[in-house]
């Protein structure tokens, strides 16, 4: 079968889309990648939270899907909003790569070794809140641009350190000299971090059948729990939220948190259940956090 997949044009996006395309080519399918420039790519120097958040990285690809110009879209799952447009679904999930964050520094050392007032760059409100919860003295500053651009800014001395996803570095084959992997139990990953999601039209049975062979069951259960958690919270792009599910020995465990932007208030929780009930487990965790104070952190965003 011949398939056309939409992808962003960054080096990381193309590497990710090629990973999916090569897996399907190995199964005898012909796959063409179609580069689509998204609003998030065009607005490279603004705070995305003020212009639509995560949706800006997928909007044009989803439009191409709905118009029939492409058969599927490959996304970093962490860049996808909790709600999808009517008629579209996540048809497949890749096996999850390392979901943890990493700290990159110019001179080596750990997060505790950074001097007071050190400038730490991140594009994520989640990472900002968790950094300030651990080190309130840090100057956490926003950064945009692709992975190579961010690394160059660190090397040029614009920042003392930077936090980013380890999976992106791994997929690009990058091994920075001074890197510390941040423990997932403290620096809880973003919803979907390390997973690729393939979006398709819900009614396109032929494409859905092809993508079924690529779908990773464990990643699907983890993704469904995390995304149900995010949807139930009703969180948008102005509140730090983290959700990380893991399947071990037929048990699904999901950890989640909602925090204030300054990191002074962090509400955490955990829920357990069966992988086959992934969405319900994620929703149960969200309900628990909402009941224990997370609602107050989300109210300003909902107002």
Number of helices (H), then strands (E), in the chain: 10, 13
Nearest to residue 92, comparing CAs of 204, 11, 168? 204
Element containing residue 198 per DSSP (H, E): strand 196-201
Q: Which residues are catalytic?
A: 79
What is the chain's length?
303
β-pairing, 2-7 vs 30-35, is parallel
**What's the rounded Cα separation, in Å, for the pair 49 and 46?**
9
Burial code (b: 16+ CB inside 10 Å, e: under 16) for 41-80 equals beeeeeebeeebbbbbbbbbbbbbbeeeebbbbbbbbbbb
Nearest to residue 181, comparing CAs of 163, 160, 159, 194? 163
């Amino acid at each position: 079968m011949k398939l056309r997949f939409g992808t962003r044009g960054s080096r990381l996006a193309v590497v990710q889309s090629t990973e999916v395309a090569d897996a399907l080519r190995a199964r005898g399918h012909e796959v063409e990648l179609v580069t689509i420039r998204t609003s998030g790519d065009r607005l490279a120097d603004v705070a995305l939270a003020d212009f639509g958040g995560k949706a800006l990285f997928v909007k044009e690809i989803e439009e191409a899907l709905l118009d029939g110009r492409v058969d599927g879209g490959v996304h970093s799952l962490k860049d996808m909003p909790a709600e999808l447009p009517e008629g579209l679904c996540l048809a497949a999930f890749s096996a999850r790569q390392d979901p943890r964050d990493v700290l990159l520094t110019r001179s080596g050392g750990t997060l505790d070794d950074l001097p007071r007032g050190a400038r730490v760059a991140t594009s994520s409100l989640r990472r900002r809140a968790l950094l300030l919860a651990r080190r309130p003295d840090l100057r956490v500053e926003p950064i945009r641009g692709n992975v190579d651009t961010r690394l160059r800014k660190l090397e040029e001395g614009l920042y003392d350190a930077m936090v980013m996803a380890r999976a992106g570095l791994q997929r690009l084959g990058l091994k920075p000299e001074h890197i510390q992997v941040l423990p997932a139990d403290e620096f809880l990953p973003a919803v979907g971090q390390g997973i690729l999601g393939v979006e398709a039209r819900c009614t396109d049975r032929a494409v859905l059948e092809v993508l079924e062979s690529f779908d990773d069951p464990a990643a699907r259960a983890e993704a469904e729990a995390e995304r149900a958690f995010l949807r139930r919270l009703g969180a948008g792009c102005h509140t730090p939220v983290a959700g990380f599910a893991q399947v071990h020995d037929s048990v699904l465990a999901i950890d989640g948190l909602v925090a204030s932007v300054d990191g002074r208030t962090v509400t955490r929780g955990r829920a357990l259940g069966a992988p086959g009930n992934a969405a319900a487990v994620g929703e149960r965790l969200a309900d628990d956090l909402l009941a224990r104070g997370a609602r107050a952190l989300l109210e300003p965003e909902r107002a």
